[in-house]
Structures are given as C-alpha cells and as structure tokens.
Amino acid sequence: MHEFLALTPEVADALHDGRPVVALESTVIAHGMPYPQNAGTGRALEAIIRAEGAVPATVAVLDGRIRVGLSDDDLERLATGTNVWKLSRRDLPVALAAGADGATTVAATMIAAKLAGIAVFATGGIGGVHRGAETSFDVSADLDELARTSVCVVCAGAKSVLDLPKTLEYLETRGVPVLGYGTDDFPAFYARTSGLPVLRRCDTPVEVARILHAKWRLGLDGGVVLANPIPEADALDAGAMEAVIAQALHDAESRGIAGKAVTPYLLARLKELTEGRSLDANIALIRHNARVAARVAGAYAALAQAPMS
C-alpha cells in the first residue's frame, strides 16, 4: 500500500471494517527484555488482545519497511536479532533508507499506528523527562510525539528512573491528557501510585473512548496517555525499588551511558539488581495494559462507527 509501510492482511481488513485493532511496540521486545521472555511476552500480548476480540498489530521495521502486524518468525527475529536498531522519530528515515531491521519505541510506534489508522496502542511504560534533565537535556522523544500524534497510549505510567513531576508538567504544557484507569493517581510502573494526580480518572473503556472521540473530533491532534496501574498482586515495594533505581542510575552515570542507550541499560540493570523481579513485574503490567487497550479499542471503534448526532 505504501513504499515504506506494510500492513498484514488481517490488520488491513480489520481497519477497513472498523473493527478494533491494538498497536504494540517492539523496543520492549528487542531492547527492554532478555530472550526468551521478550518473545514469549510479545506472543502473549497478541493472544490477550485476540481473546478480547481485537486484532494485535506489533510494529517494527524489517528490511527497511515499517511493518504493522508481524508473523511469528518476524517476532522471533526481532527478539533474537543482534543488529536490531532502536528507532524513535529521528531514526526512522535512516533505518528505512538503510534497509535495516529496527524496533520501534513508543514515539515511532505512534507514528506507524497513525499512518495505518490505529487509534489505540499498548506498551509498558512511556519515556519521559529523565532525572537530571536540567543538565543532561535528556527528555524522551515519546513526549513530543504524544503532543503531536493522535494515538491513545495505554501504559503503566512511567518508571521512577524518570522525573515523574517534570514528565507530567511537560505533558501538561504540550496539551496531552493523562487519564488514570481506575485510579486518581499517576502510576509509577512497578508501583501503583506516585502521589501525583492524573487529569481525570476513568473507570470504564467507554469513558476513555468518549474523551478520545471528543479530542479528535474537535481537531485537537495529539496523543492521550491512559495510565493503568500494575495489578496489585504484581506490584513491587516502592521504597525498595527506589533504592535499586538509585543504584542503577548511579551505575549508568559512572559508566558514561548516554542518549538512547540509557533506558535499555537501566532496564537490564534493574533486572540484575532485583534478581528478575523487575522483569516479572514488567511482564505482568504490560499484559494488563494489552487487555485494557483491547477493551478501549473496542469501545472507541463502536463510538467511531456510530452515526453522528
């Protein structure tokens, strides 16, 4: 359909028919989790979305084309590949021109979802303003993408390796609604609460869908964050994680890790320091996000199909 964009027939058909589709990112597969948990999680997310009656569309770049919807072999290739680039907005044209393989971040996945016509996207955590950004200038391109690209991103908030108050300030400035799913409090990824309020609590998929519909019908382009807390049983102790996060940040700094390597380094280091508990929590929360995203996609598809009144 497009020189640089390829949808699977399943995804294209669902979009054509107005059925719910949920986009999934691939950086979490290629750079956010180790093998084989990454491949297993990628497959589990697709199965969860299907079980909820929606079509999953995992996004990645393979051989220089943005692929929306992957085969099982494609997924395995991303999960095991040794030369899979991490692609955000700035990297996409370079990877396409080079014919490279790459995993898409939240920002790049939003771009692909929007091009394909997918309104809802599930991930683990969004990038944000890093601690110390006042000197490092490290602000994830995910935030500017949320400001401009009309996709609803279902996440478990953001990790407290980031500066959460500054992340929320930035989203406020850029006009991005931050909604809490069943919570008034912005979740902090491994922990259910951060002590920071969301803009609006939503308790049902329909409430979320109504906000998406109102925003986009009004021509207010840009994303929406739907922050869905990690399930109670899977949450990690916030105080204990704070100490581990401080250690991981210190290690990143003393090794001179910078730029796009920061987030993958921190994720891997947290896993080591928690003996795998951070990975278990990460898998649990992203599965939960996929389920909620499928339900929101269903509610939004129903609303978008309804005759205008």
Compose the 38-77 pattern: x for residues touching Mn ion by CB under 5 A, - for all others. ----------------------------------------
Among 142, 163, 185, 234, contact with ligand PSU (rule: CB under 6 A): 142
Q: Roughly what angle, to the nearest 10 degrees, separates helices 277-305 and 262-273?
A: 130
Output 127 or 177, the one with its CB closest to ligand PSU.
127
Among 38, 41, 105, 150, contact with ligand PSU (rule: CB under 6 A): 105
> Tokens for 232?
């109670």
Which one of 134-142, 180-188, 230-238, 248-256 is the stretch in contact with ligand PSU (CB under 6 A)?
A: 134-142
Closest contact distance (angstroms) between CB of 23 and ligand PSU is 12
Output 180 or 205, the one with its CB closest to ligand PSU.
180
Closest contact distance (angstroms) between CB of 104 and ligand PSU is 7
Which one of 22-30, 94-102, 212-220, 289-297 is the stretch in contact with ligand PSU (CB under 6 A)?
A: 22-30
Compose the 266-295 pattern: x for residues touching ligand PSU by CB under 6 A, - for all others. -x----------------------------
Compose the 74-93 pattern: x for residues touching ligand PSU by CB under 6 A, - for all others. --------------x-----
Cα distance between residue 100 and residue 254, in whole Å: 31
The catalytic residue among 86, 114, 159, 271 is 159
Residue 142 interacts, among ligand PSU, Mn ion, none and using kind-specific CB cut-offs from 5 to 8 Å, with ligand PSU
Query: 23 to each of 46, 82, 152, how far by Cα in Å?
Result: 10, 24, 10
Closest contact distance (angstroms) between CB of 130 and Mn ion is 6
The reply on whether position 41 binds ligand PSU by CB under 6 A is no
159 is catalytic: yes
Which one of 123-131, 170-178, 221-229, 294-302 is the stretch in contact with ligand PSU (CB under 6 A)?
A: 123-131
Cα distance between residue 143 and residue 146, in whole Å: 5
**DSSP-assigned letters across all residues of 266-285:** HHHHHHHHTTTHHHHHHHHH
86 is catalytic: no
The reply on whether position 145 binds ligand PSU by CB under 6 A is no
Among positions 115-154, residues that touch Mn ion (CB under 5 A) are: 138
Q: Which residue numbers are catalytic?
A: 25, 159
Interface with ligand PSU (CB under 6 A): 25, 27-28, 32, 88, 105-106, 124-125, 127, 140-142, 159, 189, 260, 263, 267
